[in-house]
Amino acid sequence: MQSLLKFITCGSVDDGKSTLIGHMLYDAKLLFADQEKALELDSKVGSTGGAVDYSLLLDGLMAEREQGITIDVAYRYFTTDNRSFIVADTPGHEEYTRNMAVGASFADLAVILVDASKGVLVQTKRHTRICSLMGIKHVVYAINKMDLIDYDQNKFKEIVRNIKKMTAEYEFESLFTIPVSATVGDNITEPSARMPWFKGGTLLNYLENIDITDKADEKGFVMPVQRVCRPDHTFRGFEGQIEVGSISKGDEVVSLPSGESANVKSILVTNKEMDTAFKGQAVTIQLDREVDVSRGCMLCKDIDLSVGKMFTAKLLWMDDTKLVAGKNYFLKIATKMVPAVVMNIKYKIDVNEGNQVQTDRLYKNEIAVCDISCSDKIVFDEFKHHKELGGFILIDRISNMTSACGVVEHPLRRDDNLTWHNMDITRELRASQKGQSPKTIWLTGLSGAGKSTIVNELEKKLFEIGKHTMVLDGDNVRMGLNKNLGFKEQDRIENIRRIAEVSKLMNDAGIIVLTSFISPFRLDRRNAKDIIGHDSFIEVYISTPIEECEKRDVKGLYKKARQGDIPNFSGISSPYEPPENPDIEIDTTGKSLEDSVNYIMEALEKYM
Amino acid sequence: MSKLSHLDELEAEAIYIMREVAAESEKPVMLYSIGKDSSVMLHIALKAFYPDKPPFPFLHVDTTWKFKEMIEFRDNMAKKYGLEMLVYTNEEGRAQGINPFDHGSAYTDIMKTQALKQALDKYQFTAAFGGGRRDEEKSRAKERIFSFRNSAHAWDPKNQRPEMWKLFNTKIFKGEEVRVFPLSNWTEKDIWQYIRRENIEIPSLYFAKERPVVYRDGNIIMVDDERMRLEPGEKPVMKKVRFRTLGCYPLTGGIESDADTLDAIIEETLSAVSSERTSRVIDNEAAGSMERRKREGYF
């Protein structure tokens, strides 16, 4: 049975990663004829001097070919007589470090390229650190471009010494260094006649033979539950992939976090009933009694896992938006997703020398050690013991972006000396706790235009998608806060001012405010906007024309106003000044309530 | 401790992915294109949720120009496994008589890409499984397993979400969707070996047989029905051919072959000198054509 090796290639820009893999595939005759033809054709256009440019095989995106750099991970598949390979060719450019980490999280082994004429660079150190962080246990340093330093053995030895020094702090299970030239082809698939002093064989030979079997003792059993399978009342099975050890029919398992135990009644490995199943297999397990098991729980046997809410972790930040301590995220670990807060940033790790640097924020491509607190108990293990049970991601609750990945270093107990980052609870933090961006949605329009009806429906829609909202309208403002105000000009201005101030306070509290007032004067609305803040104020103009409003006349107000019973009635005895540049405008004439509300919801999306 | 074989590992990965989507996505669907990759995907879905049925419907975007046999095969499979099979055609395109002879790449856009977008909008699916593999084409080689699409169904290759370990982020906004490729890490050879191992039913078009064909621009096109337009002087001849991929018959090139058993197909695939996508007429148009179509919403 052929084994599979997943590896990545990484290194600094222009170290020749894509060229190395391209050359390996070309030499090993692992290309289809049409790919080879396309390569030669592309080379004529793309490369200097018409020589075959092997990197064109891997740089697949148009932007990459135009810019001549690798932006994202490219996966390639090849098989030799001895092994099947999946290689993730990862970008060297610093800006795309997170894509390099994506490749590293997938691989068992890393081939890190070093330019022989430049030696160990910042990016070499950074990539080594990220490979280690992502759990790679085997690394190969390919000292490339040996042709540029005349195949000098002493210079090679010097680089190897620097590599040994750099890697002293990591716990790699194997480390190998090999001098190569990717463009010329030395020591790639054929031993180089120009470096007879090197007796270590070729890179391909090494990759074909390295043993990557997990040396760790695989006792016990863990299966994170993905789903409950319940086709009818006679069957209740727990679907998942076994991450640790093995399980047999009749074994007693414990469900975590509840701690209840039961015996295994049956095991399906995919769709076949089996007596035993082991690590890596997709199974559906039935237990002999009802226990509390759902997605995110773990079925375990003979293993010591942590159950708790807090842990210390190392984070790689991957988002353009910076991390600020105290911010709330979704944390996904194994099959469990919970809201979680990064309590503090203990220190940042300088990627070059590994020094600890004090900081209160973390930017893209930086690594830091943090304490994390989840809103609910989770089951986990330290990453160094089990990568599947100790690796996690953080998802931004507003943008849905995968903001960071992390590895659990150790659990924290309540009585551990825990410190929250010394911070002020800001508007941003309150909003992030709610997973929303607080705005004031200010509806303006004539009486009868449909403001109140729309606001009520809008609030329901927002509530449904988990937003925390508050409506301010005549009913709840005139009765209390503003009951001492009448309808004179001074009172009118004060009315709007108070509403705006309350809206601002609520926005500061993280709440989305919807207001429904005629607010006929531009000046008043501008004052409100100044108070609430230009970024938070969304003006929605319900532009239903007066003829339509008067036709509807739900409260009979127009009739009274026409009879002169209501002084200063907007649109009749007092002007209504329509907004000049509303953020959103809708005329509800002939539109159903649902259509109007959906239109506004869609338009709001870009502000929320 | 036993270790999984290469195929077992790929199968377990695909099952894991399908279960994650079934658990986390609000309204998933599995795209079913009737080809060998779809057949493998369907087979794995049946295994993944056993003894239950797959907890999502299947969707076939019918351009109306598929091989006759494919449609029969689709209906048989749906019946056999009791699947909810949704079939969608861009009716506007059909009414306008959009066809592969007169409309070239516009045909693919209107009857495939636009039709798919319309179908996804109509049913409001939040996640769609596709049978794409990274070994098929260079831009596919760069795509994540969970490929996030915006509300216009477009792919932004320069801004893909990081995908760490197997912790998939399925969070999306309303109107957006995720395309999910459970077979990302399979190669054409893996697909055939798995079909043989699992005894998976596939359309007989994959096996060599005497078929009426014409030779056109280096491709071998089967004359599947009377709508096939022959160029002056062109005359269908009977040839023993098979197909490495299945699509719209006027756009699907066959290869001359004697491989009429799975073993023979695998033998031929192992020693193939051309990658399978050469038999897709649309792929050869221009460098980067696949990426361009994917940005526009193609699978």
Q: Which of A134, A278, A335 sits opposite B1 (nearest CB)?
A: A278
Question: Which residue is closest to B289 within chain A, CA to CA?
Answer: A62
Residue B237, domain member (yes or no): yes
Average pLDDT over chain A reads: 86
Residue A214, domain member (yes or no): no
Q: How far is B47 from chain A (nearest CA, A)?
A: 5
Residue B23, domain member (yes or no): yes
- pLDDT surpassing 60 at residue A417: no
Tally of domains within chain A: 4
Q: Which of A34, A71, A241 sits opposite B278 (nearest CB)?
A: A34
Co-location of B105 and B166 in the same domain? yes
Could you tell me what percent of chain A has a pLDDT over 90? 50
Residue A229, domain member (yes or no): yes
Report the pLDDT value the prediction gives residue A182, as an integer from 0 to 100: 85
Co-location of B97 and B242 in the same domain? no
Dihedral sign for Cα A405, A409, A411, A417, please: negative
- For helices B188-198 and B262-270, the axis angle rounded to 10 degrees is 160
Residue A216, domain member (yes or no): no
pLDDT band for A427, please (50, 70, 90 cuts). confident
Co-location of B157 and B220 in the same domain? no
Query: For B71-95, what is the mean pLDDT?
Result: 93
Pick the last residue of a domain from A423, A454, A482: A423
Cα A482 from chain centre? 46
Report the pLDDT value the prediction gives residue A74, as an integer from 0 to 100: 80
Spatial distance between the Cα atoms of A77 and A93, rounded to a whole number of angstroms: 23
Spatial distance between the Cα atoms of A504 and A510, rounded to a whole number of angstroms: 10
| pLDDT tens digits, B214-273 | 988 888 889 888 888 888 888 889 999 999 889 888 888 899 999 889 888 888 876 665
Task: With beta carbons less than 8 A apart as the criterion, state whether A411 and A308 touch.
Answer: yes
Range of the domain at A35: 4-209
Range of the domain at B228: 202-284
pLDDT band for B282, please (50, 70, 90 cuts). very low
Co-location of B183 and B210 in the same domain? no
Is the Cβ pair B48, A282 closer than 8 Å? yes
- List of chain B residues whose C-beta atoms are within 8 Å of the C-beta of residue A405: 162, 164-165, 167
Report the pLDDT value the prediction gives residue A493, as an integer from 0 to 100: 84
Task: With beta carbons less than 8 A apart as the criterion, state whether A447 and A557 touch.
Answer: yes
pLDDT band for B289, please (50, 70, 90 cuts). low
Co-location of B126 and B210 in the same domain? no
- pLDDT surpassing 60 at residue A77: yes
Tally of domains within chain B: 2
CB pairs under 8 A between A and B: 177
pLDDT band for A491, please (50, 70, 90 cuts). confident
Q: How far is CA A351 from CA A22, A354, A395, B23, in A?
A: 29, 6, 24, 38
Instruction: Quickly count: other Cβ atoms within 10 Å of residue B273's Cβ.
Output: 11
Q: How far is CA A205 from CA A177, A190, A191, in A?
A: 13, 9, 10
CATH code of the domain containing A104: 3.40.50.300
Residue B182, domain member (yes or no): yes
| pLDDT tens digits, B174-213 | 788 899 999 999 988 889 989 999 999 999 999 999 999 9
Give A328-357 as a DSSP string: EEEEEETTEEEEEEEEEEEEEE-TTT--EE
Comparing CA positions, the residue from A454, A441, A439, A473 lying closest to residue A582 is A441
Residue A429, domain member (yes or no): no
CATH code of the domain containing A394: 2.40.30.10
Co-location of B173 and B108 in the same domain? yes
pLDDT band for A177, please (50, 70, 90 cuts). very high
Comparing CA positions, the residue from A12, A19, A70, A75 lying closest to residue B158 is A70
Spatial distance between the Cα atoms of B272 and B259, rounded to a whole number of angstroms: 12
Q: Which of B5, B163, B291 sits opposite A62 (nearest CB)?
A: B291
Residue A215, domain member (yes or no): no
Could you tell me what percent of chain A has a pLDDT over 70? 89
CATH code of the domain containing B56: 3.40.50.620
Spatial distance between the Cα atoms of A333 and B173, rounded to a whole number of angstroms: 22
Co-location of B78 and B147 in the same domain? yes
Co-location of A174 and A93 in the same domain? yes
Co-location of A66 and A155 in the same domain? yes
Dihedral sign for Cα B42, B44, B48, B52, please: positive
Residue A79, domain member (yes or no): yes
Average pLDDT over chain B reads: 86
DSSP-assigned beta bridge partners for residue A337: A332
| pLDDT tens digits, A522-577 | 989 998 999 999 989 999 999 999 999 988 888 888 888 888 888 788 888 888 99
Is the Cβ pair B158, A218 closer than 8 Å? no
Co-location of A32 and A14 in the same domain? yes
pLDDT band for A418, please (50, 70, 90 cuts). low
Report the pLDDT value the prediction gives residue A408, as an integer from 0 to 100: 96
Co-location of A310 and A294 in the same domain? no
Least confident residue range of A21-30, A126-135, A246-255, B146-155: A21-30
Spatial distance between the Cα atoms of A253 and A269, rounded to a whole number of angstroms: 17
For tokens 């194997």, name the residue: A174
Co-location of B218 and B147 in the same domain? no
Structure tokens at A433: 């706790």
Task: With beta carbons less than 8 A apart as the criterion, state whether A238 and A229 touch.
Answer: yes
Co-location of A268 and A281 in the same domain? yes
Least confident residue range of A505-509, A566-570, B26-30, B40-44: A566-570
Co-location of B152 and B228 in the same domain? no
ω into A257 cis (within 30 of 0): yes
Comparing CA positions, the residue from B143, B161, B154 lying closest to residue A396 is B161
* Beta strand extents in A125-259 (DSSP E only): 138-144, 174-179, 221-229, 237-241, 244-248, 252-256
Is the Cβ pair A75, B185 closer than 8 Å? yes
Helices within chain B (DSSP H only): 6-24, 36-48, 68-81, 91-95, 104-107, 115-123, 188-198, 262-270, 289-295
- pLDDT surpassing 90 at residue A317: yes
Pick the last residue of a domain from A391, A423, A455: A423
Question: Which residue is closest to B292 within chain A, CA to CA?
Answer: A62
Co-location of A392 and A527 in the same domain? no
Spatial distance between the Cα atoms of B34 and B70, rounded to a whole number of angstroms: 6
A584-586 sheet: strands from edge to edge:
A469-473, A512-516, A440-444, A537-542, A584-586
Report the pLDDT value the prediction gives residue B172, as an integer from 0 to 100: 87
Spatial distance between the Cα atoms of B132 and B14, rounded to a whole number of angstroms: 12
Co-location of B149 and B105 in the same domain? yes
- List of chain B residues whose C-beta atoms are within 8 Å of the C-beta of residue A465: 174
- List of chain A residues whose C-beta atoms are within 8 Å of the C-beta of residue B3: 3, 213, 280
Query: For A258-270, what is the mean pLDDT?
Result: 94
| pLDDT tens digits, A24-71 | 777 665 555 555 555 554 544 444 444 556 555 555 545 555 555 556
Co-location of B186 and B208 in the same domain? no
Mapped onto helix, strand or coil, the DSSP state of residue A61 is: coil
Question: Which residue is closest to A97 within chain B, CA to CA?
Answer: B162
